[in-house]
Amino acid sequence: MRTLKGPGIFLAQFLGDTAPFNSLDAICGWAKGLGFKGVQIPTWATSYFDLQKAAESKTYADEIKGIVNSHGLEITELSTHLQGQLIAVNPAYDKLFDGFAPEAYHNNPKARTEWAVQQLKYAARASQHLGLDAHATFSGSLLWHTVYPWPQRPAGLVDDGFKELANRWLPILDAFDEVGVDVCYEIHPGEDLHDGISYEMFLEKVNNHQRACLLYDPSHFVLQCLDYLAYIDHYHERIRMFHVKDAEFNPSGKQGVYGGYQGWVERAGRFRSLGDGQVDFKSVFSKLTAYDFKGWAVMEWECALKHPEDGAKEGAIFIKDHIIRVTDKTFDDFASSGVDEQLNKAILGL
């Protein structure tokens, strides 16, 4: 076993136009001041981080790493959640997802997808230059609009959808394999990879590719009423990243999982700051530790109620208090009779 690394913080929800959130240097100083030890960097905010440049220039990657390290922090991983979403977009969502790409690619789904694929390949090389071994992303979705099948799905539709999704991702997975970095899909409603079964369907189509791994975030499973602890038992060998995010699900006689088109505050299922929701994090940290998870515990703040700065301040302490420093001995070592082969044989009657 090993002790989880952390606490880390995903910077995406904190980026802004005012100090200390308006530059990588400033936001790292802020994060360090709260007690974080690592930062997960979103790659779509080019004023903080130039993904292409980090892929093409080891010197630039070293400069970025130097900025982070100067505050006593480490880079935990890079994220291409927005670009990964664009690897596969059903036409029903074209207008909504155009905003995830530069304006030059709007109203041109083919060009937008090509841009996204290149972004992921840049992310592989940039991760290598930064000395990282895992990367966060979304799978995208061709099938999500059929998740609740009415009208019924035509025969073969799901299989065809996963074949196409796999065809788009296989060259990307190979690019990550070339540089020794795992692709960690955040299993998330809205993605074709939204639970264990859908992940297994994808994994089969990509021939169990060794780089097709997982970002574990229990909050998304609370909202699906999925057993998020048993999920770790099933998939711990593929879990390479961990978002520490809380959630609650409070169904009523008027709404349930689907939320009735309500805003986040009014939904039965909503994300909360760490400790304010229903996730049993003591058990989550225990399971990940027992399974020898080697990555970072990274806070992702997405709360419907609490101010983000309060969520970050409390989150750093929450994660620190939940990380288990693993023992180097067993509790009953004091009663050990030592190694004695003859004694063992005598006990066995041999």
Q: What is the pLDDT of residues 60-104, one digit of tens each?
A: 999 999 999 999 999 999 999 999 999 999 999 999 999 999 999
Residues found in the chain: 350
- pLDDT average, residue stretch 34-55: 97
Q: What is the pLDDT of residue 109?
A: 98
214: phi then psi, degrees, rounded to nearest 5: -130, 145
Would you tell me how many other CB atoms lie within 10 Å of the CB of residue 260?
11
Reported as a pLDDT band with limits 50, 70 and 90, residue 223 is very high
In the block, which residue shows the tokens 């080019």? 46
Percentage with pLDDT > 90 across the chain: 93
Mean pLDDT of the region 143-171: 97
Euclidean distance between CA atoms 299 and 229, whole angstroms? 18
Pairing of strands 74-80, 38-42: parallel
Q: Which residues of 222-252 are buried (b: 16+ CB within 10 A; e: fewer)?
A: bbbebebeebbeebbebbbbbbbbbbbbeee
Tens of pLDDT, residue by residue over 170-190, are 999 999 999 999 999 999 999
Q: What is the pLDDT of residue 279?
A: 98
Percent of the chain at pLDDT above 70? 99
Instruction: State the pLDDT at residue 266.
Output: 97
- Give the residue among 152, 167, 183, 150 at the shortest CA–CA distance from 83: 183
CA neighbor of 271 nearest in space, from 287, 259, 285, 289: 259
Residue 165 · residue 139 · CB < 8 Å:
yes
Q: What fold characterizes domain 5-348?
A: TIM Barrel (3.20.20)
CB burial of 65-101 (b: ≥16 within 10 Å; e: otherwise) equals bebbeebebbbbbbbbbbbbbbbbbbeebeeebbebb
Reported as a pLDDT band with limits 50, 70 and 90, residue 252 is: very high
Would you say 25 and 315 are in contact if contact means Cβ atoms under 8 Å apart?
Answer: no
Nearest to 9 by CA among 294, 312, 307, 272: 312
Place of tokens 């061709």: 142
* pTM (two decimals): 0.95
Q: What is the pLDDT of residue 330?
A: 81
Domain ranges of the chain: 5-348
User: Which parts of 206-307 fold into alpha helices (H)?
Assistant: 218-222, 228-235, 281-290
Are 288 and 242 contacting, i.e. CB atoms less than 8 angstroms apart? yes
- Residue 126 is predicted with a pLDDT of 98
From the list 167, 163, 159, the residue with the least C-alpha distance to 113 is: 167
Q: What is the mean pLDDT of residues 44-48?
A: 94
pLDDT of 120 above 80 = yes
Query: How many angstroms separate the Cα of 170 from the Cα of each of 109, 118, 202?
Result: 19, 13, 11
Question: Mean of the pLDDT values across residues 135-152?
Answer: 96
331 pLDDT band (50/70/90 cuts)? confident
Tokens of 30: 């802020």
Q: What distance in Å separates the CA atoms of residue 70 and residue 24, rounded to the nearest whole number?
A: 11
How buried is 220 (Cβ within 10 angstroms: 0-12 exposed, 13-18 middle, 19+ buried)? buried
Query: In this model, does residue 147 exceed pLDDT 80?
Result: yes
User: What is the tens place of the pLDDT at every residue in 258-314?
Assistant: 999 999 999 999 999 999 999 999 999 999 999 999 999 999 999 999 999 999 999
With left for phi above 0 and alpha for psi between -120 and 50, is residue 89 left, alpha or beta?
A: beta
Calculate the alpha carbon distances from 234 to 228, 238, 242 in Å: 10, 9, 15
pLDDT for the residue 3: 97
> Rounded to an integer, what distance in angstroms lies between the CA atom of residue 259 and that of residue 252?
10
Arithmetic mean of pLDDT over the chain: 96
Residue 333: is its pLDDT beyond 80?
Answer: no
Whole-number pLDDT of residue 347: 87
| CA–CA distance, 44 with 80 (Å, rounded to integer) | 7
Element (H, E) at 271: strand 269-272
Q: How confident is the model at residue 203 (pLDDT cuts 50, 70, 90)?
A: very high
pLDDT of residue 334 exceeding 80 = no
**Alpha-carbon span 300 to 8, nearest angstrom:** 9
